Amino acid sequence: MRTVSFSSPDVQKKMNQDFVCVAVNTEGDPSAGSSQAHAPADRAGQCAPGIGNQNVQMIFMTPDRRIFHTASGFHDAKALEREMEFAEDLFEKIQKSPRLAERVVREDHHDQMIKAGYSPQTLQRASQLVSPFGRLQAGITGFPRTSQPSRSDMPINIFARKTEQTRMLDYQFSQKYPMLAWDQFEENPRLLVGEAVTAFASGNASGGRIGGDSPRNVSASQGSGGQRSR
């Protein structure tokens, strides 16, 4: 994310103009995964969308620190821009109808999934498949849009399903916990990432030249009061 997505001039411009941004180091957080250590000069490795959901979580909050959208795992620059645009549109609706904020958050996340091609039956089935042992086990068999993979395209299909699964679970998190207060989330961040502690590797390890910290990137939506304080 640091070398690919957050280095994009378009992403930087949007984040600096439209958001109050805070990065939180989750090293030692029991809800966070573990990843290879990389020196700043290391080249970025290839990474599939949605991978590393316990290493990087982007959390969008209102100025009074209520979570209304999340995006877990790796997102390339274009995907991150789309998530930020969705968050901006949703935040504008929340501002216009603050008393209906929870309802608006639920409905907009549901509608976004329908627009993405998920049927109501698939969304319902996936919500019932979530495992207490971690997101990687949730909903793997619940995506009829992807055909049964052959041996030659097995990796592509597996990553496609993982990407769909991660995005669906993020959106369902916002539906289940609309406008969740940050203090409540901080008490139990596993609500978002599940129970399993997963490892995440991208590219080659840097040989232990730096520590294995894994930042949770917190994007607080518009407003000077949106920064996380510890």
- 150-172 per-position pLDDT tens digit: 444 444 455 566 667 778 888 88
Confidence of residue 67 (pLDDT cuts 50, 70, 90): very high
Helix (H) or strand (E) holding 34: strand 34-35
Pick from 37, 90, 40, 35: nearest CA to 60: 90
Judged against a pLDDT cut of 80, whether residue 144 lies above it is answered with no
Please list the residues that pair with 58 across neighbouring strands. Answer: 71
Domain assignment present for 1: no
Domain assignment present for 115: yes
Q: Which domain holds residue 53?
A: 9-226
- 174-212 per-position pLDDT tens digit: 999 999 999 999 888 888 887 666 666 665 554 444 444
* Buried b or exposed e, range 132-144, using 16+ CB within 10 angstroms: eebbbebbeebbe
What type of residue is 194?
G
High-pLDDT (> 70) share of the chain, % = 63
Comparing 219 with 113, the larger pLDDT belongs to 113
Count of structural domains within the chain: 1
Domain assignment present for 2: no
Domain assignment present for 71: yes
- 28-54 per-position pLDDT tens digit: 787 787 777 667 777 766 777 777 778
What is the DSSP code string of 76-144? Answer: -HHHHHHHHHHHHHHHHHHHH-GGGHHHHHHHHHHHHHHHTT--HHHHHHHHHH--TT-GGGSSTT--T
Rounded to an integer, what distance in angstroms lies between the CA atom of residue 71 and that of residue 93?
A: 19
Domain assignment present for 50: yes
Domain assignment present for 3: no
> Which pLDDT value is given to residue 126?
58
Domain assignment present for 151: yes
Domain assignment present for 61: yes
